[in-house]
Amino acid sequence: MLTSTATVTTSRGGRYIKQLCSHFSKKADSTFDETSGHTVFEFGECRMAATDEELAFTVSADDEELLGRVEFVVGDHLERFASRDGLSVTWHRL
């Protein structure tokens, strides 16, 4: 299993976890609370954790193509949902 991480500076991490997981739950198994979230897509998974200062993502998938797909889906959705805040996601493969 391949893994990638990203950390985004925001004081609204819990809000974004809720928004992302609620949206993803329409097509994937997704759970969340005020500070964490987990979504299992058909092609990989995403774990999210929020503090008062940041939102951290850990995504994983079976191969590089699928990992890229998870990175794209999660990053693209966050950037669209957070367009007013100007957030962007930069992934770091482990």
Residue 94 lies in a domain: no
> Which pLDDT tens digit goes with each residue over 24-34?
999 999 999 99
Residue 65 lies in a domain: yes
Q: pTM score, two decimals?
A: 0.96
Give the Cα separation of 87 and 12 in Å (integer): 11
Over residues 21-25, mean pLDDT:
98
Instruction: Quote the pLDDT of residue 39.
Output: 98
CA atoms within 13 A on the CB side of 60: 9
DSSP class per residue in 21-45: HHHHTTTSEEEE-SSEEEEEETTEE
> Which pLDDT tens digit goes with each residue over 52-82?
999 999 999 999 999 999 999 999 999 999 9
Domain with 9, as residue range(s), is 2-86
CATH number where 74 lies: 3.30.310.50
What's the number of domains the chain is made of? 1
